[in-house]
A = this chain, B = another copy of it.
């Protein structure tokens, strides 16, 4: 059984979406994205564990960590883990079963999915204690270097569904186009729709229901 660790920030998340969603809406939207990720990793036969800075109202298995210590908390977890570990971010609602299976099906020691802008969206480790994470500031290249230093073979999984993290207003268009789950439904319920302007697709919010 692979454990899927999903870092999650329940309070005041996704501040770069403040232009179109107020704080309460951002919290509901972030939780909808989390649930999409949880459902997908379950479909891929992983056991989700939420790693958060505080508990939130949910039946999901939650582990809380002190503020400002994502890498440290994950490394503590990895050093003790006895099964394969998938670390997957909570803002990847385009993820589907096939893309997650491609990650955990790697024949190498580990797999990684880069995010846009040099980040790391997903890491899969067959032997977690042999690796350590170092998030922020271009973590993708740092993780590739750590893999090499630790002598671990690493497959880069070529998936735009796992590459597309939802951070900014423009990203909502990707969710409306390619999404299928609760977070897309949340946007539609709140009046978001795709627009077409000069050949590029964007989003608009028709009403604040």
A residues with CB within 8 A of B: 96, 98-99, 114, 116-119, 136-138, 140-141, 158-164, 170, 173-174, 177-178, 194, 196, 199-202
Contact = CB atoms under 8 A, between A and B. Distances in A.
A103 to B, nearest CB: 11
Contacts of A114: 160, 177-178
A158 B177 CA distance: 14
A160 B116 CA distance: 9
Given A158-B161, A159-B160, A199-B136, A173 B98 contact: no
B177 A137 contact: no
A169 B29 CA distance: 30
A196 B138 contact: yes
Q: Which 7 A-B pairs give the minimum distances between C-beta atoms?
A: A118-B201, A160-B163, A160-B160, A136-B199, A138-B201, A117-B200, A137-B196
Given A158-B159, A159-B158, A163-B160, A116 B199 contact: no
A174 B200 CA distance: 20
Nearest to A135: B199
Nearest to A156: B178
B117 A170 contact: yes
A38 to B, nearest CB: 20
A164 B118 CA distance: 13
Contacts of A173: 117-118
28 contacts: A96-B158, A98-B158, A99-B158, A114-B178, A117-B173, A117-B174, A117-B201, A118-B177, A118-B194, A118-B196, A118-B200, A118-B201, A119-B200, A136-B199, A137-B196, A137-B199, A138-B194, A138-B196, A138-B201, A140-B177, A141-B194, A158-B160, A159-B160, A160-B160, A160-B162, A160-B163, A160-B164, A163-B163
A11 B164 CA distance: 32
A117 B200 CA distance: 6
